[in-house]
Structure 1
Amino acid sequence: MGRGKVQLKRIENKINRQVTFSKRRNGLLKKAHEISVLCDAEVAVVVFSPKGKLYEYATDSSMDKILERYERYSYAEKALISAESESEGNWCHEYRKLKAKIETIQKCHKHLMGEDLDSLNLKELQQLEQQLESSLKHIRSRKSHLMMESISELQKKERSLQEENKALQKELVERQKAASRQQQQQQQQQQVQWEQHAHTQAQAHAQAQAQTQAQAQTSSSSSSFMMRDHQQARVPQQNICYPPATMGGESSSVAAPGQGQIRIGGLPPWMLSHLNA
């Protein structure tokens, strides 16, 4: 049985209208895909449902490029048709162009944020997923690069700190050596001072001993001299007197009776003791 001719008018039944829309929409998108593949053509299809839901299809060159190309061609045609209203048309066209770009950017931003994904089909979701994966790769590579730079900077700081630490350790060792040398010099100086002090004390002690010995000798000589005087005092003194000369120039010695000493010219007794000895 042949298929009857369908009248091109609005379908009043809501369910039939929705079914027909779904079938014709899928057929339209399928035909657009077939013509793009078979004829290597750039195809862009935009369909809004009665409820305002968007359905679109575009070849690999993306919808934005096709729309921009369409706007350039439509703008060229309008420029040829109406030269008088060129400025006004340019502004209106530029406005529409910028408005379309803003809407597209907002839409892409929502899609990237995971919002309003109901209007996307499987292929568009796959493209969005690939785009997100590519963005993640770029983000991770940039993150890795920054982390490597920070690690290299930290390594440089670590090397500089190690060098400073080595320099400080070297300076500390030198200071310790200088302090030990200074301490040794001080010990040597103290030892020299102690030796000089000991030598001075020894000299003083020797001088004291010498003075003591001299005093002892002096005291012994004085004691012996006093003992000798004491012994001489016990011996009878002899006084030797020289009488005055006689007239004839002869001299005579007269000893006084009862005296055992001879006094000679008035000499002291200690000289007489040496003479008698």
Structure 2
Amino acid sequence: MDVILERYQRYSFEERAVLDPSIGNQANWGDEYGSLKIKLDALQKSQRQLLGEQLDPLTTKELQQLEQQLDSSLKHIRSRKNQLLFESISELQKKEKSLKDQNGVLQKHLVETEKEKNNVLSNIHHQEQLNGATNIHHQEQLNGATTSSPSPTPATAQDSMAPPNIGQSIWMSFF
């Protein structure tokens, strides 16, 4: 009999809800509010227990379940922490490899630049030696050829613009 009455109330309620949707919505809101309120209370109670509050009414079995839940959560947290640490280490290793590769490229570039610099300095030194030998040859020709006044040669013009001798001290140029 109770089953029949229950079905009658349910169908009559659904029929009224179809005819007047505001009645159904209000009833649903009331039911939903009640179930959400119960869930909220249960969650708050569980939270307090996890924080170590209100443990007195719990039985030994409930305390063991709570302890297992805490252990499980702690394992999950440690697992996640280790995963994040490994990911971080992996990223740092990739960054280290990239920086090492970049360092290798820069070192090769530095070696090439040093070689080019040494080649240029060698060429300049060789050119200075050739210019010095040419100047000596011209001076010998001028001294031995005629007694007339020597005219400036292109080599002597170069000598006047030549850089100072590297072996000469800077302080001597002030006297």
Relative to the length of structure 2, the TM-score reads 0.69
Candidates 184, 199, 223, aligned match of 2:122: 184
Candidates 76, 80, 91, aligned match of 2:7: 80
CA distance in 2, matches of 1:163, 1:202: 59
- Which residue of structure 2 lines up, in the alignment, with residue 219 of structure 1? none
- Which residue of structure 1 lines up, in the alignment, with residue 74 of structure 2? 136
1:100 deviation in Å? Answer: 0.9
CA distance in 1, matches of 2:92, 2:5: 63
Q: 1:202 to 1:172 in 2, by over 3 A?
A: same
Q: 1:101 to 1:149 in 2, by over 3 A?
A: same
CA distance in 1, matches of 2:86, 2:135: 72
1:81 deviation in Å? Answer: 4.9
Unaligned runs of 5+ in 1: 1-75, 213-277
Counterpart check, 1:105 vs 2:43: yes
CA distance in 1, matches of 2:125, 2:5: 109
Q: Which has the higher helix share?
A: 2
CA distance in 1, matches of 2:4, 2:138: 127
Amino acid of the structure 2 residue aligned with 1:93: D
- Which residue of structure 1 lines up, in the alignment, with residue 89 of structure 2? 151
Counterpart check, 1:204 vs 2:142: yes
- Which residue of structure 2 lines up, in the alignment, with residue 175 of structure 1? 113
Q: 1:183 to 1:156 in 2, by over 3 A?
A: same
Where 1:115 maps in the other structure, the secondary structure is coil
1:111 deviation in Å? Answer: 1.3
CA distance in 2, matches of 1:139, 1:161: 33
1:79 deviation in Å? Answer: 5.3
1:115 deviation in Å? Answer: 1.5
Q: 1:114 to 1:77 in 2, by over 3 A?
A: farther
CA distance in 1, matches of 2:27, 2:124: 103
Relative to the length of structure 1, the TM-score reads 0.45
1:116 deviation in Å? Answer: 1.4
Amino acid of the structure 2 residue aligned with 1:133: D
Residues 229-244 of structure 1 mapped to structure 2, 5 A cutoff: none
Q: 1:77 to 1:112 in 2, by over 3 A?
A: farther
1:217-259, Cα deviation, whole Å (9 max, x unpaired): xxxxxxxxxxxxxxxxxxxxxxxxxxxxxxxxxxxxxxxxxxx
- Which residue of structure 2 lines up, in the alignment, with residue 119 of structure 1? 57
Q: 1:157 to 1:133 in 2, by over 3 A?
A: same
CA distance in 1, matches of 2:141, 2:4: 131
CA distance in 1, matches of 2:5, 2:139: 128
CA distance in 1, matches of 2:48, 2:40: 12
Query: Whose Rg is larger?
Result: 1
1:96 deviation in Å? Answer: 2.1
Where 1:82 maps in the other structure, the secondary structure is helix
- Which residue of structure 2 lines up, in the alignment, with residue 3 of structure 1? none
Where 2:54 maps in the other structure, the secondary structure is coil
Amino acid of the structure 2 residue aligned with 1:80: R
Higher mean C-alpha deviation, range 167-176 or range 108-117: 108-117
Q: Quote the sequence identity (%).
A: 46
1:113-149, Cα deviation, whole Å (9 max, x unpaired): 2221112111111111111111111111111111111
Where 2:71 maps in the other structure, the secondary structure is helix
